[in-house]
Amino acid sequence: MRERQIVNSIPRRHQLLYQLLALMVAIAVLPLLISASILIRINQRVLENDLLLLHTRIATDTADQISHSLAWIFDQVEVLAKTQLLALPLSSEHRERLLLHYLDQYPDLLQLSLLDREGKEIACAYRAERISPSTFLPDPGLHQEMIARSREGKRAISPPFLAGAPKGPVLRIYQPIKNDAGEVAGFISALLSLEGINELISKIRVRRQGHAFLVDQRGRLIAHPNRARVLQEDLSDLEIVKNYLLVGKTGGTVPFRDKNGREMLGAYSAVKNLGWGVVIQEPREDAYLSVAEMKRQTLIAGLLATLAAAGLGIAFARRVSYPLQKFVQGALSIAGGNFSNRIDLKAKNEIGQLARTFDYMTMQLQAYDENMKEMFLGTVKSLAAAIDAKDPSTRGHSERVTRYSLAIAEEMKLSTREREKLNIAALLHDVGKIGIDTHILRKPGRLSEEEYFLIKQHPVMGANIMAPIRQLSDVVPLMRHHHEFFDGTGFPDRIKGKEIPLGARIICVADTFDAMTSDRPYQKAMEVGYVVDRIKEWSGTRFDPEVVEAFVRCVRDARIPGHKDA
């Protein structure tokens, strides 16, 4: 129990195994995590730059493309305005045919009108399959405003609006027609479909979910992959659109949230001369997919490294802590008086050397211990022999009682420690007789009451003689009680049953047997068979039945031969 307390007195966190484990894990995982986090940060920064470049490039390219295609169509309308369509005296049917011919060449134009100076329609041509006359005009107020602006001699362009069948984004171009004097004499008004631009915008894909959209100078959505949203939404609140409206030109943004609250990355670029802006946006999670993957792989690598380090740590720690545990056990074994244990480690390193030294030390201690025990036992035997010699009839009595007692103890499977105690107690059981007059001890015939009283003092006297020897504290009770009887009728304390120490109960049987099988001044030696019968009779009264049984088996097996044959 005490040994366990000593071994377990190390808190778990201080145990070598756990300390080495923590060290191995730290060595394996910390550098990995630090380098991975640096790499991820660098990667993220590079990726952010690349993304900004990519988004900006797509936005700029798209804005240029839109700008070019619109400029081209504006130029075509301008060319039409420079023809003599208004100046020549043509019939309106003729003019309309000419307009229709023109219209056929430009699929994006839905309708062409020739207007007089007041903005009143003189001739009109339109794509009947795509638009009806009732839908191709903006509201009258806007029409007048455009006419007024165009009358100053420059092209006017309406904001996009919905028209056509099905309704799609369109805008109206007002191109002034000048006479020879350079005055504005009328206008060409053209309805331009923005479907082509919407298509261009819709086709743009940036990886999985990145896309483009187009806003006008007020932030209204004028082209979007989702056609239903076109000209139905005001995006001027959206952070990236706000940025565009504020800055114009081309730029990228810090991450922003779209209307659904998703985090986005993006860039914008202005469409020249129109004030429109192409916006590219992509969900942040998509953009950082590779970074997320990198983090995931780092995590897996970290976990694997932790497991590997833990495995190695355990193996390594066991290699170190196992021998140490053997040393602890060896040391505890020595502390408990057992010198037969050996560390016996085959290691060739310093630990192996230490183990061999430790075993050598234990061997030396064992030899010293055995020497001491031998010397002690020799002394005890000499003392016992000296007592026995006080009376020639008891010569060898203590040695024989000891031999018989040990035979019974072996039969009863007593522990080594118990047998060692018994050995000394049996040798010294009659040491108290040292203080009894020799003539009483040698007296033939019956003893007087007083003499018998004196004789009966020998267990107490023996116990008192040995009591000061601390190392014999376990032995003294066996000496004191070797004349107690199992039924409590013995002496000196008249204790009974299991109160009498087992060793004393054994000595009592062995002592009686030797006394009865030896010649004494007051009696002749009795036959072994007779004595055994008597002892059996006294089983349960004088003697412990279990001891008697063991004793009988020993006699039967000739392990207890009787004095004559001993």
Q: Which residues bind Fe ion (CB under 5 A)?
A: 430, 511
Please list, in sequence order, all residues whose beta carbon lies within 8 angstroms of the beta carbon of residue 542, skipping any fewer than 6 positions away: 485, 486, 487, 489, 490, 508, 512
> Least separation, in Å, of the C-beta of 519 and Fe ion?
15
Give me the residues paired with residue 234 across strands.
220
d(CA 16, CA 25): 14
- Residue 324: which residues within 8 A CB-CB, separation 6 or more? 16
Q: How far is the CB of 387 from Fe ion (least distance, A)?
A: 9
- Cis-peptide into 561, omega within 30 deg: no
Pairwise CA distance, residues 224 & 160, whole Å: 14
Strands 109-116 and 256-257: unpaired
Taking alpha carbons only, the member of 290, 240, 292 closest to residue 262 is 240
Least distance from Fe ion to the Cβ atom of residue 438, Å: 16
DSSP 442-454: T--SPPPHHHHHH
Nearest to Fe ion of 281, 394 (CB atom): 394
Least spacing, CB of residue 337 vs Fe ion, in Å: 29
Residue 315, judged by CB atoms within 10 A of its CB (0-12, 13-18, 19+), counts as exposed
Tokens of residue 462, six digits: 């023996």
**CB nearer Fe ion, residue 208 or residue 494:** 494
Burial 530-561 (b: 16+ CB within 10 A, else e): ebbeebeebbeebbbeebbbbbbebbeeebbb
Count CA atoms within 13 Å of residue 309 on its CB side: 21
- Closer by beta carbon to Fe ion, 96 or else 511: 511
Which C-beta is closer to Fe ion: that of 277 or that of 432?
432
Q: How far is the CB of 11 from Fe ion (least distance, A)?
A: 55
Closer residue to Fe ion in complex, CB, 135/457: 457
Q: What's the min distance (Å) between Cβ of 460 and Fe ion?
A: 11
Question: CB of 322: closest distance to Fe ion in angstroms?
Answer: 53
- Residue 432 CB, nearest approach to Fe ion (Å): 8
The smaller minimum CB distance to Fe ion, of residues 172 and 397, is found at: 397
Pairing of strands 156-157, 221-223: unpaired
> With respect to Fe ion, which residue has the nearer C-beta, 511 or 544?
511
Question: Under DSSP, is residue 115 helix (H, G, I), strand (E, B) or coil?
Answer: strand
What is the residue type of 559?
R
Which residues is 446 bridged to in the sheet? none
φ, ψ for residue 558, nearest 5 deg: 65, 25
Based on CB atoms, which residue is closest to Fe ion, 344 or 437? 437
Question: What secondary structure letter does DSSP report for 526?
Answer: P
Q: Is 390 helix (H, G, I), strand (E, B) or coil?
A: coil
Report the residue number, 418 or 511, with the smaller CB distance to Fe ion: 511
17 vs 526, which CB is nearer to Fe ion?
526
Reported as type and span, the H/E element at residue 277 is strand 276-283
The distance of closest approach from Cβ of residue 489 to Fe ion in the complex, given in angstroms and rounded to an integer, is 16
| Residue 281 phi, psi dihedral angles, 5° rounding | -140, 150
Q: Where are the beta strands (DSSP E) in 47-195?
A: 109-116, 121-126, 156-157, 161-163, 168-178, 184-193
Nearest CB to Fe ion, comparing residues 33 and 440: 440
**Cβ 515 to Fe ion, closest distance in Å?**
7
Determine contact, residues 542/534, Cβ cutoff 8 Å: no
Q: Output the smallest distance, CB 3 to Fe ion, in A.
A: 39
Q: Label each residue of 285-301 as H, E or C.
A: HHHCHHHHHHHHHHHHH
CB of 556 to Fe ion, least distance (A): 24
- Choose between 411 and 511: whose C-beta lies nearer to Fe ion: 511
